[in-house]
Amino acid sequence: MKLPTPMKVRIQLAITIVALALANSLLSAENVRIGVLGLFHPREFTLSAADGCAIVVHAGQETFVLEKSSGKNAAQIRAAGRGMVVTVGTHAVGSSEITITSRANGPAHFILAVPGKIARHYRGTLQLKRTSVSGGLIAIVDMDLETAVASVVAAESLPGAPLEALKAQAVAARSYFVAGKGRHSQFDFCDTTHCQFLREPPEPGAVAEVATSATRSLVMVYQSQPIAAMYTRSCSGRTRTPAEVGVSPGNYPYYSVDCKYCREHPEHWQSRISPHDAATLHSSDEAARLKVDRRLGWSAVPSNSFTRKSEGDHVILEGTGEGHGIGLCQAGATAMAEAGANFQQILSHYYPNTTIVSLERAAGAR
C-alpha cells in the first residue's frame, strides 16, 4: 500500500527528528567526565605511568614526563595552601590545577593512588583540583564513552554472567552515561553506585570488553530520547517502579515486570538494627534506606522488600533482593541469558516500550 505524500513527509520528518536528537546525544557523549576515588576524601595522590607508557604532568607553566625507562615514573600531588604541590624526584612545583595527558596531549594510561588505601589504573586524561568545601583533592578522569562502559560492565556485573547478560548490561550502562549527565557540579558522574560503579578498564579480550565492543554505540531510547537506565542486583520476583520507592523516573516511566528467576529463587537476607534506625525506614523510601546503609554499612538494609519485628531492644528486618529493584535485574538477566535469551530480549523484558538504536548511525544521519 502506498502512503499519501503528506504522510510520507510526516514520517520522514519524525525519523529525521529522532536521528538529530540521537546525533546530538552522541556529540555530547563521546567522552564522559568521571570523578574518581572521591569516597576516600583524598588530600594526597601518587601518580605513575602504566608499564610501557609515558604520561605528561602539566602543572602551571611546567611539565614533567613520567616514564619507567627514564627513572622518573612517579609523582606526588598533595593539597597545600589554596592550591597543590606536585613533586617529581627532588623538584616541586605549586599549581592551582594539574592535568595529565599523553605525549600527544590525548588520553594516557596511568595509575592513580590514594597512599595506603587504593590504587587504580585508568585510560583517559586526568584533571586534579582542590575542593571548595573540605580543601581536599578532586580527581576527574575524562575518558572515552566505550572505555567508561567497559569499566562499568567489569565492575557492576555478577561473577560468571553470560555474554548476552553482559551485553544487556553494556547497553544499559551506555544509555545511562548518554542520558544521565550532570549528576555532579564539577563532573558528570562519580565512580560509586550513586552513579555507576567503575573500576579499571578490562583487559582486551576480557568478557566485559567483548560485551562492550559487541554492542558499541547501542543505547535504549523512549519517545526518541535515550534513557538513563537504572538497574539492580536482584529484585524480589517483580521489579519496582520509581514511584514505588520515591525515586524520580526521569524521561522513562519504567514498569513493574515479572522476574521469574527471582520469584523462584529469592535472595533472602536478615538484618538487626536499632529502633532509632528502623523508625526512618519505609519500603517506599529508597533515600531513607540509603541513608541508613551509609551509616551502618551497605549490608544493613540490602533492599526495599522487607518486613520488621521487634526483638528486645533491636528490630529484626527480614527481606529479599538486593538494590532498589528498578529496571534491569542482573540476576534475572543472567538466568534469561542462560536459558537462551539474547540481550535484545533481556532489555525489552525489563525496559518495556523502549527501542535499541545506534548513536553512530544517528550521527551519520546529520
Task: Kindly list the domain boundaries of the chain, sorted by start residue.
Answer: 44-135, 147-256+325-364, 268-320
Q: Other CB atoms closer than 10 Å to residue 263's CB: what's the count? A: 14
The pLDDT score that the predictor gives to residue 363 is: 52
Q: DSSP class of residue 39?
A: G
The pLDDT score that the predictor gives to residue 362 is: 54
The pLDDT score that the predictor gives to residue 8 is: 44
Q: Other CB atoms closer than 10 Å to residue 20's CB: what's the count? A: 15
Kindly tell me the burial class for residue 336, based on how many C-beta atoms sit within 10 Å of its own C-beta (0-12, 13-18, 19 or more): buried
Helix (H) or strand (E) holding 45, with range, is strand 44-49
The pLDDT score that the predictor gives to residue 3 is: 46
Q: Which residues of the chain have pLDDT under 50?
A: 1-3, 5-20, 23, 25-28, 365-366
The pLDDT score that the predictor gives to residue 119 is: 97
User: Global pTM?
Assistant: 0.88
Nearest-5° angle of CA 161, CA 200, CA 68?
140
What DSSP line would sit under 171-187, residue for residue? HHHHHHHHH---SSSSS
The pLDDT score that the predictor gives to residue 29 is: 53
Give the torsion through C-alpha atoms of 290, 291, 297, 302, to 10 deg. Answer: -30
The pLDDT score that the predictor gives to residue 177 is: 97
Whether the Cβ atoms of residue 77 and residue 85 lie closer than 8 Å to each other:
yes
Q: What is the rounded distance in angstroms from the CA atom of residue 321 to the CA atom of residue 242?
A: 16
**C-alpha closest to that of 158 among 337, 344, 340, 351:** 337
Give the torsion through C-alpha atoms of 329, 332, 337, 343, to 10 deg. Answer: -30
Residues 6+ apart with CB under 8 A from 56: 63, 64, 65, 66, 100, 101, 102, 103, 105, 108
**C-alpha closest to that of 66 among 82, 80, 44, 45:** 45
Whether the Cβ atoms of residue 151 and residue 105 lie closer than 8 Å to each other:
no
Give the torsion through C-alpha atoms of 191, 196, 201, 202, to 10 deg. Answer: 140
Cell numbers standing for residue 232: 539492580
The pLDDT score that the predictor gives to residue 17 is: 45
**C-alpha closest to that of 32 among 242, 216, 222, 177:** 177
